[in-house]
Amino acid sequence: MANILIVDDERNIRSGLQIAFEDEGYDTFEAADGQEAWKIINKNTIDLVITDLRMPVMSGYELLKKINAAYPTLPVIVLTGHGSIEDAVQAMRDGAVDFFTKPVDLDHLILTVSKALSNKLIKEQNEKLTKEISALKKKQDFHQIIGKSAPLMKMMETIEQVAPTRASVLVTGESGTGKELVADAIHSLSNRSGGPFIKVHCAALSENLLESELFGHEKGAFTGAVSQKKGRFELADGGTIFLDEIGEINASTQVKILRVLQERAFERVGGSETINVDVRIIAATNRNLEEEVKAGNFREDLYYRLNVVHIEVPPLRERKEDIGLLIASFLDTFNKEDDKDVTGFSPAARKALMSYSWPGNIRELRNTVESCVVLARGKVIDVDDLPPQITEEKSASTVDIKIGTSLDEAERILIMSTIDYCKGNKTRAAEILKIGRKTLHRKLEEYSSSPESAQ
Ligand SMILES: Nc1ncnc2c1ncn2[C@@H]1O[C@H](COP(=O)(O)OP(=O)(O)OP(=O)(O)O)[C@@H](O)[C@H]1O
Ligand SMILES: [Mg+2]
């Protein structure tokens, strides 16, 4: 619990406050004047100071000034005698967080102390995070990937290793995990960074349009082809092409892309001239391409060509250590963008953010911070200000398994609750449980034929 220093030349006031705060669970220190207080502050970890203004030896004003200069985050609450409001106002101007006139309303003072302490905590956390982020940015000013968790650091290592080569990279991961940022980072860290970086969102275009986007077309190749047009592969010559949502492309385009990978050559739609390009290919998908290959939807040879290096971007729920840094960075972005001054989230709100499962990953976190900043009424965002899905999820994320439950039964409870939690989406449930879909189905069949399920 926090340490509070009480400074007053009247012994009665000191001991009254001391009893009240110790009853609240705080540890207290006391001093009879500013000089004594200043010594205590320098020798101990003091979290908050309550001080009288008029005292012999060193006044409360002087103490306040010293504290502000040396310990800018240490909150000071000022007490004044009756009729000296001007003094208190001056003290507020000098940096006191609040003032009270004697006789002090204790309940109000206790509340003010607890608020000031939690603001102090948020300020200190922010300062620490801001420092961490600027250190990260200095080290990694070539990309925008924020995080310090072990899975993320491992991924960064792979990116750094593979970037300078021409190897094709397949980036996989759930939606919103940052696959596009990974592609950006690979390009910027490569020796092609001076060349073009061309992105193609394969799912956004119809089959025919996609082919002509990728490979270009000759004049008159189809109705509407009024002039010759260069394709994205040609535009990416000397640089990198990023094929996003590669799992969505059809069989005919798959063949053509395979050829580019093998020969670095292709023809424009409606053309016969072979065009050679020097391109590095990065592809991304949130589908399980291996399964698509097995199901016959994706060419195996293309899969292996794309997957020379595989980077799997971990979901946010597996790297919660990154949440603090990400929040701090998004707060900074949106405070600037929306001209706001939100300092952070209350401890309870942070706890909710940390225990939420983030199915939409970093994109969802970013959007959440943005909407909180836009709607914020004060400087600190509290639990009540969070979107409901975050606070409501808590109850769904625990299950009731006690000693006395058999292993089989525990497994059954966990599996059924996970499926419930995923609103019946078994693929997602299998992912969370880290078992194959087939295994999950087999277990469900077992349960439906076991007598327990008849209950
Ligand atoms: N590590 C990170 N640091 C900072 N911002 C991130 C990070 N990862 C993702 N983001 C941000 O989150 C958002 C989603 O990232 P991105 O578009 O790269 O996801 P994605 O994996 O391509 O998702 P989808 O599969 O839906 O296309 C972007 O605004 C991106 O800038
Ligand atoms: Mg994407």
Stretch 52-69: mean pLDDT: 91
Q: Which residues contact 450 (CB under 8 A, 6 or more apart)?
A: none
Give the lowest-confidence range in 84-93, 284-293, 350-359, 436-445. 84-93
Mean pLDDT of the chain: 90
> Would you say 114 and 134 are in contact if contact means Cβ atoms under 8 Å apart?
no
Alpha-carbon dihedral sign for residues 324, 361, 347, 395: negative
Kindly state if the Cβ of 366 falls inside 6 Å of ligand 1. Answer: yes
Return the higher-pLDDT residue of 91 and 232: 232
Domain annotation covers residue 398? no
Q: What is the distance in A from the centroid of ligand 2 to the CA of 201?
A: 8
Residue 335 pLDDT class (50, 70, 90 cuts): very high
Confidence of residue 138 (pLDDT cuts 50, 70, 90): low
Residue 111: pLDDT band (50, 70, 90) is very high
Is the C-beta atom of 146 inside 6 A of ligand 1?
Answer: yes
* Ligand 1 atom closest to the CA of 182, numbered from 1: 18
CATH number at residue 44: 3.40.50.2300
CA distance 443 to 353: 33
Q: What share of the chain is helix, strand, coil (3-state, %, to 5)?
A: 55, 15, 30
Percentage of the residues of the chain whose pLDDT score is greater than 90: 64
| pLDDT for the residue numbered 453 | 45
Domain end marker among 273, 291, 312: 312
Ligand sitting nearest the alpha carbon of 155: 1
Rounded to the nearest whole angstrom, what is the distance from the C-alpha of residue 341 to the centroid of ligand 1? Answer: 25
303 and 323 assigned to the same domain: no
Count of domains observed in the chain: 4
Q: What CATH number did the domain enclosing 325 receive? A: 1.10.8.60
Supply the pLDDT for residue 367.
96
| In a shared domain, residues 178 and 293 | yes
pLDDT of residue 119: 87
Structural domain range at position 331: 317-385
Q: Specify whether the CB–CB gap between 198 and 243 falls below 8 A.
A: no
Test site for ligand 1: of 362, 364, 369, most ligand atoms within 8 A of the Cβ = 362
Q: With bands split at pLDDT 50, 70 and 90, how would you rate the model's confidence at 455?
A: very low
Task: Check pocket membership of 44 for ligand 1, CB cut-off 6 A.
Answer: no
pLDDT tens-digit series, residues 238-274? 999 999 999 999 999 999 999 999 999 999 999 999 9
Q: Is the pLDDT of residue 448 over 90?
A: no
The DSSP secondary-structure symbol of 313 reads: P
Q: What is the distance in A from the centroid of ligand 1 to the CA of 405?
A: 41
> Which residue is closest in CA terms to ligand 1's atom 28?
363
Distance 116 CA to ligand 1 centre (A): 36
302 within domain boundaries? yes
Residue in the block written with tokens 């401890």: 347
- What is the arithmetic mean of pLDDT over 56-61? 88
Contacts for 150 with CB less than 8 Å, ≥ 6 apart: 319, 321
The pLDDT confidence band at residue 103, using thresholds 50, 70 and 90, is: confident
- Give me ligand 2 centre to Cα 380, in Å: 32
Find tokens 């619990």 and name the residue: 1
Per-residue pLDDT of 115-132, as tens digits, reads 999 888 888 888 888 877
Structure tokens at 73: 């985050």
Taking the centre of ligand 2 as the mean of its atom positions, its distance from the CA of residue 178, in whole angstroms, is 7
Pocket test residue of 181, 317, 365 for ligand 1, highest count of atoms within 8 A of CB: 181
CA 333 to ligand 1 centroid distance, Å: 15
Cβ–ligand 1 distance for 179 under 6 Å, the answer yes
Q: What is the pLDDT of residue 82?
A: 65
Examine the domain organization and report whether 260 and 354 are in the same domain: no
Secondary structure, 3-state, 145-209: CCCCCHHHHHHHHHHHHHCCCCCCEEEECCCCCCHHHHHHHHHHHCCCCCCCEEEEEHHHCCHHH
Parallel, antiparallel, or unpaired: how do β-strands 76-80 and 48-52 relate? parallel
Q: What is the mean pLDDT of residues 397-407?
A: 81
pLDDT at 257: 95
- Whether 338 and 303 map to the same domain: the answer is no
Q: Is the pLDDT of residue 168 over 50?
A: yes
Residue 36, helix vs strand vs coil? helix
Ligand nearest to the CA of 146: 1
Q: Which ligand is nearest to the CA of 332?
A: 1
Residues 285, 186 share a domain: yes
What pLDDT is attached to residue 141?
A: 55
Distance (Å) from CA 255 to ligand 2 centroid: 23
The preferred substitution site among 153, 172, 177 for testing ligand 1, maximizing ligand atoms within 8 Å of CB, is 177
Ligand 1 touching residue 314 (CB < 6 A): no
The verdict on 263 and 176 lying in the same domain is yes
Structure letter (DSSP) for residue 109: H
Q: Identify whether residues 89 and 219 lie together within a single domain.
A: no
Contact 109, 116 (CB under 8 A): no
Q: What is the pTM of this model?
A: 0.68
Report the pLDDT value the prediction gives residue 142, as an integer from 0 to 100: 57
Residue 111 in any domain: the answer is yes
What is the pLDDT averaged over residues 413-421?
88
